[in-house]
């Protein structure tokens, strides 16, 4: 006989598989589980059908909205002082890679987020992505309660011959949108 549900706690995050209903939840919200290759196919199909420029806009808009959604979902659960550790656990545990807030100024409302081994690097083979940087702009827009946007400060695959997952690195600077004159 199969168990109707399986639950696992990873750090502060809970995954629950309800086999009877065919539902996976992550921290209480219905979730999906995909292989990188399936997401890669999905994103490349959007690019193939829409073209590079339109796809970039779609990815940025989607990333920003997803970041805003994440902030609204975790609002009140995690304080700004727990941002780096708390969000890193969420994203790492969900397979999105490692994220670290390496700079945060509440006064200037700026941040720099370091991504390593992100799914975007894995899928786009080290090329600069826009979905995750815009995602973090959406997160900080929710945190600071004002429009924020991003600039990729640096992006590198440290081994130039081939992408090694542990060696992909991107630093994203997030600032108030009206102050962007980069």
Cβ neighbours for 132, distance < 8 A, ≥ 6 positions apart: 63, 96, 115, 118, 120, 170, 172
Residue with tokens 């200037």: 108
d(CA 182, CA 60): 17
Taking only the tens of pLDDT, the chain with its 182 residues reads 456 789 999 988 899 999 999 999 999 999 998 999 999 999 999 999 999 999 999 999 999 999 999 888 777 665 666 666 677 888 888 999 888 888 888 888 888 998 888 888 888 875 678 899 999 999 989 888 889 999 888 766 544 444 344 456 677 888 877 644 44
For residue 78, report the phi and psi dihedrals to the nearest 5 degrees: -135, 125
């Amino acid at each position: 006989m199969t168990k109707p549900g399986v639950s696992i706690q990873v750090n502060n995050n809970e995954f629950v598989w309800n086999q009877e209903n065919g539902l996976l939840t992550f921290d209480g919200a219905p979730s999906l589980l995909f292989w990188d290759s399936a997401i890669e196919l999905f994103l490349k199909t959007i690019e193939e059908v829409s073209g590079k420029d339109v796809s970039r806009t779609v990815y940025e808009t989607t990333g920003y909205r997803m970041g805003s959604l994440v902030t609204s979902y975790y609002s009140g659960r995690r304080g700004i002082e727990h941002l780096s550790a708390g969000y890193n656990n969420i994203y790492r545990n969900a397979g999105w890679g490692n994220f670290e807030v390496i700079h945060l100024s509440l006064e200037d409302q700026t941040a720099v987020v370091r991504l390593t081994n992100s799914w975007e690097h894995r899928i786009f083979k080290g090329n600069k992505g826009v979905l995750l940087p815009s995602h973090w702009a959406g997160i900080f827009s929710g945190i600071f309660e004002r429009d924020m946007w991003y600039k990729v400060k640096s992006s590198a695959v440290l081994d130039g011959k081939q992408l090694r997952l542990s060696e992909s690195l991107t630093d994203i600077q997030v600032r108030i949108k009206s102050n962007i004159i980069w």
